[in-house]
Structure 1
Amino acid sequence: MIRSSETTTAMLPVLVNVSIAHCRPFPALSIDTRALALTHWAQLGLRGADCIERFMREWEANSALLKAICTDPATADAIGTQGVPLASFRMHAPVAPRQVYCTIGNYRSQLLQAALDADDGPQGPGAAARRDALLNAIEARRRDGAPYICLKGPACVSGPDDPLVISPDVKTLDWEVEIGVVIGKSVAHVAPEDALDCIAGYCIVNDLTLRDRVFRQDVPALATDWLQSKSRPGWLPVGPRMVPAWGIADVSALGLWLRLNGAVMQDGVAGDMIFTIGEQIAWLSNSIRLEPGDLICTGTPAGLGSHYGRYLCPGDVVEAGIDGLGVQRVKCVAPSGG
């Protein structure tokens, strides 16, 4: 059952990135259907309040003050009386990452569904054995393995309701609703139990993937090709909001869902992750230095287009939602003139 997308943040303000009348995008605080530019509170000492990229780069300096602003009852009053309706703005991605990381095969439900779909199908005589083998493999990986994480270009990032252009050569573009984790401070070699302290906030991402380009047919020994399959412009709708980490009581309890033309395709819960968000951050930090504003896409539940044999095409409408993080709505379109 799809859960409410508004149950976690109560009435605390959330961070959005908006523009109006062709001006440059600027960060704002939003409650319900209104938003007020973050520069309204700049005199209190916020850094980079006029630009989401600069603001996130200064998250360590900004976070305590932003929390005080968000929990001050006067802020809700200011947004209600001086804010502008969100419908008046164009919504942009609430982050501007320098690096984007994607965790692959991280939900038990998705891996189990793929295993059951293989060979003779979910009702075939081999299904039970595939199920048992997959569950055993998951437990072994959980015990002895590590997250599988790839890079996705930051140029893929698009807004939560930007049109998604699908060119005629794209036949197997698939959806993946995921919790996006925004890093709040520079970190290396962090332990899993300390990793959540590195998080600035959470947002919705849809990690679009071209299934027929995941594996290179010309060089099969080299396996996956995440550049071709994940990294075209617009293939990572993000937003509509970033909820600061203090606004999410238990990230593992968050429900994720995705609808295609009104029909439910995905409906899962973050607690189904094989590797927790803290474990993903810790594993990454042992290989690279995470920086403020970096974005981690943490995996997707069952219900991919590859399961349904149905992929995105012009005319489709994709809605993705996560408890407390809002809903994004993306319309798929053909190229101009095509």
Structure 2
Amino acid sequence: MIRPSETTTAMLPVLVNVSIAQCIPLPALSIGTHALALAHWAHLGFRGTGCIETFLREWEVNAPSLKQICADPATTDAIVKLGVPLSNFRVHSPVAPRQVYCTIGNYRDQLLQAALDADDGPDGPGAAARREAALNSIEARRRNGAPYICIKGAACVSGPHDPLAISPNLETLDWEVEIGVVIGKSAAHVRVEDAFDCIAGYCIVNDITLRDRVFRRDAPAMGTDWLQSKSRPGWLPAGPWMVPAWNVGDATQLRLWLRLNGSLMQDGLVSDMIFSIGEQIACLSNSTRLEPGDLICTGTPAGIGSHHGRYLRPGDVVEAGIEGLGSQRVMCIAQSNA
């Protein structure tokens, strides 16, 4: 498994989507310091070396050759000798999904934290009862329930270092660091035990959410509104790269973290999920057909802004990372309501 620190780069080649000057983004392999366009290996029969969306849609064709060159020590040498310093590129999202799915309330510690924050707070006289009720509810859902998954508009996907524009009327804009699962082949009615065969790779995502729009004030009986609360452009920074699944190993051991202006806000393990990545894929594939390039945002650990009583505002710097998948840095900027 790739195991760089939070600030260092990966030791094995990873898939990036980069551009230089005003050119169209193109998929490349990177070792963190340099990147070399996949077109360098076009003789291997890759499809879509000029477009990350096409490359991922053709994952089943491309994956065997990609796995071969990623394991070849000569590939690292080629990237260093023939590639361009990654700092010279603009790094875009490593995925361009047609569908984005988000799993809601999927970390035990986040649900428990929300329960303790309610009513008289974590130190109030009712905290113990709320804690017990939350734990019982989580275990009952684990035994008898299913993942709660919504759709997030694909137009919200942005790069790992793109600025996040915040207009004055967005007062409850929140962060959610998550492990993003990129689908590698069409999947329908997949069994849990076969789900990992459908994964192309993993990346970091930050599922930006407007808390006061999750529930509609004008239609409270209608339930949640994920379009208004999650799907504006820029509300899903992704990347900086995608690590192929064969280089990740046991994803449940990965650590997720998020810092706001240098202060640690979220810190959790994938193993704290109520429903595993495989269970999420199986659940989705029984309701819809998953296609290559689709992205699943798999839930977030404790420490979201509503817990801290602090939401995003212009001038903030949000850094999010996952062990082995790198880190992203997003600057929040002011935008007029117009």
Shorter-normalised TM range: over 0.9
| Distance in 2, Cα, partners of 1:320 & 1:7 | 11
Matched letter for residue 246 of structure 1? W
Matched letter for residue 189 of structure 1? H
Runs of 4+ in 1 over 3 A off after TM superposition: 3-10
Structure 1 pair 9–141 and aligned structure 2 pair: CA distance change class (3 A) = farther
Matched letter for residue 180 of structure 1? G
Alignment of 1:40-119 (within 5 A): 40-119=40-119
2:275 aligned partner:
275
Structure 1 pair 28–4 and aligned structure 2 pair: CA distance change class (3 A) = closer
Encode CA deviations 1:43-65: one digit per residue, 9 max, x unaligned. Answer: 11111111101100100000011
Q: Is the 8 A contact 2:101 2:150 kept in 1?
A: yes
| Distance in 1, Cα, partners of 2:323 & 2:11 | 14
Encode CA deviations 1:120-150: one digit per residue, 9 max, x unaligned. Answer: 1000011011001111111110000000000
1:314 aligned partner:
314
Shift of 1:9: 8.9
Encode CA deviations 1:246-300: one digit per residue, 9 max, x unaligned. Answer: 0101100000000000000000000000000000000000000000000000000
TM-score (norm 2): 0.97
2:216 aligned partner:
216
Encode CA deviations 1:8-44: one digit per residue, 9 max, x unaligned. Answer: 9962100000000110000000003111011000111
Gaps of 5+ in 2: none
Structure 1 pair 307–209 and aligned structure 2 pair: CA distance change class (3 A) = same
What is the DSSP-based 3-state SS (H/G/I as helix, E as strand, rest coil) of the residue aligned with 1:141? helix
Is the counterpart of residue 229 in structure 1 residue 251 in structure 2?
no
Q: Is the 8 A contact 1:9 1:247 kept in 2?
A: no
Shift of 1:210: 0.2
| Distance in 2, Cα, partners of 1:53 & 1:337 | 32
Q: Is the 8 A contact 1:53 1:293 kept in 2?
A: yes
Is the counterpart of residue 29 in structure 1 residue 58 in structure 2?
no
Q: Is the 8 A contact 1:9 1:243 kept in 2?
A: no
Cα RMSD for the two superposed structures: 1.6
| Distance in 1, Cα, partners of 2:217 & 2:335 | 27
Alignment of 1:120-269 (within 5 A): 120-269=120-269
Structure 1 pair 337–282 and aligned structure 2 pair: CA distance change class (3 A) = closer
Of 196-205 and 216-225, more deviation after overlay is shown by 216-225
Shift of 1:4: 5.6
| Distance in 2, Cα, partners of 1:25 & 1:7 | 24
Aligned length: 336
Encode CA deviations 1:301-323: one digit per residue, 9 max, x unaligned. Answer: 00010001100000000000001
Matched letter for residue 89 of structure 2? F
What is the DSSP-based 3-state SS (H/G/I as helix, E as strand, rest coil) of the residue aligned with 1:330? strand
2:329 aligned partner:
329
| Distance in 1, Cα, partners of 2:192 & 2:139 | 19
| Distance in 2, Cα, partners of 1:285 & 1:173 | 31
| Distance in 1, Cα, partners of 2:8 & 2:202 | 12
Structure 1 pair 8–192 and aligned structure 2 pair: CA distance change class (3 A) = farther
| Distance in 1, Cα, partners of 2:110 & 2:274 | 11
| Distance in 2, Cα, partners of 1:161 & 1:150 | 25
2:295 aligned partner:
295
Encode CA deviations 1:79-120: one digit per residue, 9 max, x unaligned. Answer: 111111110000100000000000000000100000000001
Gaps of 5+ in 1: none
Encode CA deviations 1:188-231: one digit per residue, 9 max, x unaligned. Answer: 00001100110000000000000000011111111111111001
| Distance in 2, Cα, partners of 1:250 & 1:9 | 19
Structure 1 pair 137–195 and aligned structure 2 pair: CA distance change class (3 A) = same
TM-score (norm 1): 0.97
